[in-house]
Amino acid sequence: MTTSLPAESPSAQARATDHPPQGPSQGASQGASQDAAQSSLRRSMTSRHLVMIAMGGVIGSGLFLSSGYTISQAGPLGAVLAYLVGAFVVYLVMTCLGELACAYPVSGAFHIYASRSINPATGFTTAWLYWLTWAVALGSEFTACGLLMQRWFPSVSVWVWCVVCAAVVFTVNAISARVFGETEYWFSLIKVAAVVALIVLGGAAIFGFHPLSDQHAAFPHLFENFDTPGGLFPHGLSGVMVTVLAAFYAFSGSELIGVAAGETDDPSRAVPKALRVTVIRLLVFFAGAITVIAAMIPYDKVGLDESPFVTVFTTIGIPYAPDVMNFVIITALLSAGNSGLYSCARMLFSLAEEGQAPQLLRRLNSRQIPMAALVVSMLGGLASLLSSVVAAQTVYLVLVSIAGFAAVAVWMSIAASQFFHRRAFLRAGGDVKTLPYRTPLYPVVPVLAFLLCLVSLVGVALDPAQVAALYFGVPFVAACYLYYYLRHRRRGSGTTAS
């Protein structure tokens, strides 16, 4: 690890060579610059795109559909506290991510962080965990879109809409990174508008202002629903614990900022700004939405049979609330699929850059898109979709379990990478004041982030509904390490830990 990272040019950083760049003189020649331009992804996104990409990765069907279930499990106050804890952990992980993303502004960067700071085997494992997470998500998002479209087009088969959604997402990703960023911005804006509308209109109704509703309708007074017949925590602390685990997974996707750093203009400024804005907005949106839902709907009457957003909007008197929310949720699913395919392709591209995947996957077309990696990732998503139909209780169950485990495992990798990155930086004589962005309260923040994520995995072991994540996730990690050491280590390929 060297002390000259902040002085590096974007093109030199983006090439992701075996070690961090050693100084501004490297890659300075015209030939090297041209080579970098030809082999690197185009930096065409801004902090505005990064914020909405991260928001789009987090705000999805989990909030629009499953938030009611979390409230029913933990009670109103327990659910709010669980999401506050989740937001705190997101803040810790994002501060770690900020320092790493500025030091290594490369696309698909999670495994680069781990390879440089921990060891190449950990980087390799992190990459495949994250790729599989989003490949599984692609299949589920396409299926859900098809099912929701049945509301308006009941005579059209679900598979037709799956194909249409897959084609839309693939086309957006295949045009350019800028088009992907813009599309994700507007997809996310629709979701954010729905959440803001819920908070504003629902909050007004809680305080007695609901002019569109039936004047004879009964509304709860302020937060009286929080005082349930079973107390503030009707299902005890165990219900809150399970909801905390759900909140961790609900916030997964915020790390997409790190994936997109390599295609961001001026990442040393854009990434930190995007991280700060994202954490604040996620805290406000999630905590605000859960608070309003919990205050509006009795905890024992909210569940999975209807989106709590539909229940709240219908109660307030918003016309066509079910159709409006159906559109919003379809948009959320398309947004998640859009981000998922982007992440998968960049992760494969980055693996190929490191010599840990076929070199075909690092080829860029004339628009600087890794088309081969994009096609392979889409095939992975379609394979997941197929397995959900023909092998839902076997293959698909394994894939979903590993994907759930991977979300927290990647966060642990980010926290550990920042810890070892900063330690190596200081040992090399680096001055933290020269870093474009630095994680505060080092080493407390990365250590605390790692431990809280680890505790959440221990909690998974205690929850019968989620323990399959460990049954399949841990062996998958072990298999990745074993494969790396048998294949890449023996050949001497991959990177060397710094």
41 vs 326, which has greater pLDDT? 326
Average pLDDT, integer, range 267-285: 80
At residue 93 the predicted structure's pLDDT band, cuts being 50, 70 and 90, is: very high
Segment 136-143 mean pLDDT: 85
Distance CA 294, CA 77 (A): 8
What integer best gives the mean pLDDT of the chain? Answer: 80
Give me the count of residues in the chain.
Answer: 498
Instruction: Assign residue 235 the CATH number of its domain.
Output: 1.20.1740.10
* pLDDT value, residue 241: 78
Backbone angles phi, psi at 231, to 5 degrees: 95, -170
Q: What are φ and ψ of residue 264, in 5° steps?
A: -110, 135
Whether the per-residue pLDDT at 317 is higher than 90: the answer is no
Whether the pLDDT of residue 209 is over 90: the answer is no
Give pLDDT, residue 315.
Answer: 85
Examine residue 460 and state whether it is found in any structural domain, yes or no. yes
Higher pLDDT, 469 or 65: 469
Mean pLDDT of 451-462: 85
Radius of gyration, alpha carbons of the chain:
23
pLDDT score at 296: 87
Task: Examine the pLDDT at 357 and tell me if it is beyond 70.
Answer: yes
Domain assignment present for residue 175? The answer is yes
Is 178 within a domain?
yes
Exposure of 25 by Cβ count < 10 A (0-12 exposed, 13-18 middle, 19+ buried)? exposed
Q: Is 28 a member of any domain?
A: no
- What's the total number of domains in the chain? 1
What number is the average pLDDT over the span 127-145?
Answer: 87
Residue 336 and residue 330: Cα distance in Å, rounded? 10
Task: Note every long-range contact of 435-439, with CB atoms under 8 Å and residues 24 or more positions apart, other chains counting.
Answer: 435/5, 435/6, 435/99, 435/102, 435/103, 436/6, 436/102, 436/268, 436/269, 436/272, 437/98, 437/99, 437/101, 437/102, 437/268, 437/271, 437/272, 437/275, 438/99, 439/95, 439/96, 439/98, 439/99
Tokens of residue 11, six digits: 């093109």
Q: Is residue 2 part of a domain?
A: no
Per-residue model confidence (pLDDT) at position 354: 82
Dist CA 285 CA 276 (whole Å): 14
Determine, yes or no, domain membership for 6.
no
CB-CB contact of 314 with 321 (8 Å): yes
Mean pLDDT value of segment 221-243: 77
The residue that leads in pLDDT, 246 or 342, is 342
Q: What is the pLDDT of residue 23?
A: 37
Q: Is residue 396 part of a domain?
A: yes
The whole-angstrom separation of Cα 476 and Cα 481 is 9
Strand partners, 45: 264
Quickly state the pLDDT bin for 402 (edges 50, 70, 90).
confident
pLDDT at 255: 79
Query: Can you tell me which residue has the tokens 């799956």?
Result: 162
Name the pLDDT band for 261 (thresholds 50, 70, 90): low
Decide if 480 is inside a domain. Answer: yes
At residue 92, the pLDDT reads: 93
Q: Which of 26-30, 133-137, 196-200, 461-465 has the lowest mean pLDDT?
A: 26-30
Give me the percent of the chain exceeding a pLDDT of 70.
84
Residue 449: the pLDDT is 95
Q: What's the pLDDT score for residue 314?
A: 86
User: What is the average pLDDT across 218-241?
Assistant: 77
Is residue 167 very low, low, confident or very high in pLDDT (cuts 50, 70, 90)?
A: very high
Q: Residues 163-181, buried b or exposed e (16+ Cβ, 10 A)?
A: eebbeebbebbbebbbbbb
Q: What is the pLDDT of residue 29?
A: 38
For residue 140, pLDDT beyond 80: yes
pLDDT(359) > 80: yes
Q: List phi, psi (to 5°) of 230.
A: -95, 10
Q: In this model, does residue 79 exceed pLDDT 50? A: yes
Q: Quick one: pLDDT at residue 458?
A: 82
Look at residue 196 in the predicted model and tell me its pLDDT. Answer: 92
Residues spanned by the domain of 180: 44-489
The pLDDT of residue 47: 67
Position 340 pLDDT exceeds 90? no
Quickly tell me which residue has 């870093």 as its tokens: 435
Are 308 and 321 spatial neighbours (Cβ–Cβ below 8 Å)? no
Cα Dmax for the chain: 76
CB 307 within 8 A of CB 325: yes
pLDDT of 86 > 70? The answer is yes
pLDDT digits (tens, 9 = 90+) for 187-207: 888 988 999 999 999 888 888
Which pLDDT band, with edges at 50, 70 and 90, does 378 fall under?
very high
pLDDT at 206: 87
Q: What Cα–Cα distance (Å) separates residue 255 from each residue in 101, 120, 195, 307, 340? A: 10, 20, 21, 26, 12
